[in-house]
Amino acid sequence: MGAVPYLNRHLTLEEPQRVSDGAGGYVESWVPLGSLWASIEAGTGSKRSEDFATISVVPLRITVRGTPVGSPSRPKPEQRFTEGARTYVILSVTEADPMGHYLICQAREEVSS
């Protein structure tokens, strides 16, 4: 890894939690796990149609400080980052350098239009 990333974005790491709805099903809600400072690089966006809406999708490369595998503060796929009203779904996580000082999270932001 070359330059040290500039972690200037304050993100909240969240994971989904299923809660019984009392009728044999469940409701999914998001539970905050903590906050992290990150660097975000956006890729080239695209549009796709789903049902009756158009979705704008932007791939992101989010860099955060490294944490050991198994640590509750280490991001995982299927979790998400939030930044105010914005949501970034985590697709994959890998170490940015051999020492594991930083992690790279491939993510996407989806916005309905």
Residues 6+ apart with CB under 8 A from 43: 58, 59, 60, 61
What pLDDT is recorded for position 2? 64
Instruction: Answer for the pair 83, 62: CB distance below 8 angstroms, yes or no.
Output: no
Tokens of 26: 């469940």
Tokens of 80: 């998400």
- How far is 55 from 73, CA to CA, in rounded Å? 30
Smallest CA-to-CA distance from 8 within 64, 58, 74 is with: 64
Tell me the pLDDT of the chain (113 aa) as tens digits: 567 899 999 999 999 998 888 888 888 899 999 999 999 999 887 777 777 777 788 899 999 999 988 888 899 999 999 999 899 999 999 999 888 899 999 999 877 66
